[in-house]
Chain A
Amino acid sequence: MNRTTGHQKAVAAADSAYVLNLRNIAKRFGATQALEDVSLALRAGEVHALLGENGAGKSTLIKVMTGVHQPDRGEILLAGEPIAIGSAAEAQRHGIAAIYQEPLLFPDLNVAENIFICHQNRGAITDWRGMVREAERILASLGVSLDVRSPARGLTLAAQQSVEIAKAISLNVRVLIMDEPTASLSAHEVANLFRLVRDLRAKGVAILFVSHRMEEVFQIADTVTVFRDGRHISTRPVREVTPQSAIADMVGREMGLLERRTPAPHGEKLLSVQNLARAGVFEGVTFDVRRGEVLGFAGLIGAGRTDIGLALFGIEPATGGSIRLSDSERTIRSPRQAMALGIAYVSEDRRQLGLSLPMSISANITLPVLSRYLNRLGLIRTGQERATAEQFRKRLAIRTPSVDLAAGKLSGGNQQKVMLSKWLNTHPTLLILDEPTRGIDVGAKAEVHAMIGELAAEGIGIILISSDLPEVLAMSDRVLVMREGRQMAIFDRAEADSETVMFAAMGQTTQPAITGAAA
């Protein structure tokens, strides 16, 4: 009995050393287990880095901590006391604040108001002078000079970050979550930000720092935690961690779940891109794609992979560099033009850019090339339209009772197949697939993979953009790695393994990276 009490006391003492203690948190969204039995403890005056690949569960955990999502299971202790964080306002009352990559400011309110807008206990009447003075004092203590009376609209991202930090300071936060705060900052601005982070740490704030930049983690963090596939993998003091060990923890999943695709024989050069750039988004992208080749695009979210796809398809045209298609130079200014050149782009965003969900499956499939289905009076030949849809239904095994069903009624995997059908029906020679298997079940995923293989064998050149690293490695003949808008490397099939690719994606150069010429 005594022993139990002693034990409980010891547990309580250990808990209260932590400002925030998350225990066995689980969260599920539909078929995806975003977090599984995850624990994380933050100490006062400590910078705790959280690492993980895309989809490792970092964002979900942040949303649980800030009251946006409620965990399915598990408990949250604040200074040893169990709490529930039911809303963003409650998180704030508990002294938990978050700063995101894209700051959440009010563009029409001025800087001072933005800093103090969450102070709901500051009395009913706005003390403009006091607020301006206070805002100036906080910003000055941060070493930032901003006109606090000017509206937040038009501030640079770095300035917006400073305002967010000032907001956190004004709230006397105990826990500050920084979700990739440096992603859009210059080196000089990052140095400033880190100075602020160290000040906050000295004041006893617990800081959770999420970043994809390995060197920054080693610069600023005291403790490093790695998540993978919604699970907690490791938590170690930074001195016991090396970039290699962290990356190994991040990618260390069992390979071999996905079978490597048998490469198809490559034909002539289809697409050749030289120094492609879009101002402020990506630059210096150089690669080529041959008939029957699958070129994988790997990299972390926001590395600029999708933007290259959008540029090649003319949705957000490139502003620099050259695109050669079948050996003639082309500028692509619109999707219509891209389609005429035989390019098809299957968007990652099924709902917004992909399908018209209330329309029937057959209408969706024929939409881009509807002019092929018109009779002499300009009316749609629905019989022919349905025949095409039926063909694709068989070929891609779209599971639906009828092609007249609204596309929105299908499961994610089948919607993906409809989208693929739609673009294959444009008879492309170059197919850009952006996250073709995201959010679909394992069976449908295998079918999409088989389809990619068949299409390559038919001589279509394929660009496969995917955040699912094993998928990129299994499907691609070569892998192009992007990081922060820059092309880091192109690996041949033989050289590409998950660690090499992840090293390049995180900007580590300790391993020899082979900037591959065309195969």
Chain B
Amino acid sequence: MRWLQRNIRPEQIRELSLLLLIVVAVLFFGSLIDGYYTSRTFNRIAASVAIITVVAVGQTLVVLTRSIDLSVGSIAGCTAYFAGSMAAAHHDLPPLAVVLIAVALGAVMGAINGVLVAWGRVPSIIVTLGSLAIYRGILIDYSGAKTVTTDSLPAWIVDLPRLTFVTIGNLDIRAMFALAVAIVVLFQIGTSFLNVGRQFYAMGSNPDAAHLIGLPTRRIVFSAFLLSGALSGLAGFMFLARFGNITVEAARGLELQVVAAVVVGGVNIFGGSGTVFGAMLGAIMIGTLEQSLFRLQISEFWRDAILGLLILLAVASDAVILDRLRALWARTDLKLVTRAEAEP
């Protein structure tokens, strides 16, 4: 126990137990659904997880700074439609340009949120609730309620979801899933080893102290929203590739899945603690649930209700369990310190 307490932090225990929970969920659904353990199931889940993960990474940054971004679904919808219609109109656009268009549009939308929260001093929940509606409204107006169809898209986008990055055994790891994992790794390293990354944690942990020691608090909040927007833009492109047909309803309700992934993944909704890696575990949990419940032919409404329940459970258990664990850890720390003091 002592060894455990010295080398593992309560927060990490949470992530480990989530991993266990995912295994339990997979075994549970495997026993209910015939032909569950197939590469087809894996790819379906992975495709869903990839999109949730990319947005959840950005959401994690925002939540770490004590804010929330509810507009991610609308941003992804807008960028999916805009990038889709651009690609449909100009088949000769290089793939990278289409991706960059999506990311840049998302970044602009995120930047607008960021300016309003950081400099306008409007609470983020209000700003992004507003932009959730406004961005969706802009999409409806811009699209004229028309649909981007799979037929109109260049072949490379349509084929992208089946593009395999690497094959392990009989599992094909798709390029889109690999991209999501790469983003998680990139941001996990960034938040742990870059000074700017650590400032997100400082900002959320104690905003007053962050201001008093001279951290650029507004820029930190702004860049969290900027990155969240840019990643939502990337997710918009992935959404376009996955579904092909993009209506004005595209990615509606994504924010629920993403916030669920983030809090289930152990990111504290009051800021300051949690990891990008944890958010990915949360996204895997949510993606698995979503696809498996779909296979069980449970209606969309019940799936949303279950997500809502998960959010409540995660936040409530966060408060109770983590406090208990921390108390346990603090007692051990105290013992260690007293022992160290008693030694000389």
Contact = CB atoms under 8 A, between A and B. Distances in A.
A124 B195 contact: yes
A71 B115 CA distance: 30
B201 A151 contact: no
B62 to A, nearest CB: 16
Contacts of B198: 109, 113, 117, 126
B213 interface: yes
B333 A126 contact: no
A265 B220 CA distance: 64
Interface residues of A, number: 32
Contacts, number: 84
Interface in A171-230: none
Nearest to B271: A108
A118 B333 CA distance: 26
A146 B337 contact: yes
A145 B341 CA distance: 8
B209 A154 contact: no
B195 A90 contact: no
Given A109-B198, A126-B192, A128-B193, A117 B213 contact: yes
Interface string B6-49: 00010000000000000000000000000000000000000000
Interface string B317-333: 00000000010011001
Contacts of A90: 214
Contact of A108 (B193, B273, B329, B341): B273
A156 to B, nearest CB: 9
Nearest to B193: A126
A171 to B, nearest CB: 10
A124 B196 CA distance: 7
A107 B273 CA distance: 9
Given A145-B340, A146-B337, A108 B195 contact: no
A355 to B, nearest CB: 24
Contacts of A120: 195, 214-215
B335 to A, nearest CB: 12
Nearest to A91: B214
Nearest to B270: A108
Contacts of A126: 192-195, 197-198
B192 to A, nearest CB: 7
Interface string A90-102: 1111000000000
Contacts of B341: 145
A104 B202 contact: no
B271 to A, nearest CB: 8
A108 B322 CA distance: 13
B159 interface: no
A150 B337 CA distance: 12
Given A88-B213, A145-B341, A106 B272 contact: yes
A113 B199 CA distance: 10
A104 B209 contact: yes
B247 interface: no
Given A87-B214, A104-B212, A109-B205, A147 B195 contact: no
Contacts of A88: 211-214
B208 interface: yes
A90 to B, nearest CB: 7
B204 interface: yes
Given A90-B214, A92-B214, A106-B272, A153 B326 contact: yes
A214 to B, nearest CB: 29
Contact of B204 (A66, A108, A124): A108
B336 interface: yes
B262 to A, nearest CB: 16
B164 interface: no
Nearest to B214: A89
Contacts of B194: 124-126
A124 B199 CA distance: 11
Interface string B290-334: 000000000000000000000000000000000000100110010
Contacts of B268: 108
A122 interface: yes
A197 B197 CA distance: 34
Contacts of A153: 326
Q: By CB atoms of chain B within 10 A, which of A66, A117, A123 has the most?
A: A117
A106 B195 contact: no
A106 B202 CA distance: 6
Nearest to B9: A151
B330 A117 contact: no
A281 interface: no
B201 A108 contact: yes
A105 interface: yes
Contacts of B273: 108
A6 to B, nearest CB: 40
B14 to A, nearest CB: 14
A104 B330 contact: no
Interface string A120-150: 1011111010000000000000000111001
A120 B198 CA distance: 11
Nearest to B189: A125
Given A90-B214, A108-B204, A122 B195 contact: yes
A513 interface: no
B9 to A, nearest CB: 7
A68 interface: yes
Contacts of B199: 117
A118 B215 CA distance: 7
B206 A107 contact: yes
10 contacts: A92-B214, A104-B213, A105-B209, A107-B206, A109-B202, A113-B202, A117-B202, A118-B215, A147-B336, A154-B329
Given A91-B214, A104-B213, A125-B195, 4 more contacts: A105-B206, A105-B209, A118-B213, A126-B192
Interface of B: 9, 192-199, 201-202, 204-206, 208-215, 268, 272-273, 326, 329-330, 333, 336-337, 340-341
Q: Which 5 A-B pairs have the closest CB atoms?
A: A89-B214, A104-B209, A108-B272, A106-B205, A108-B205
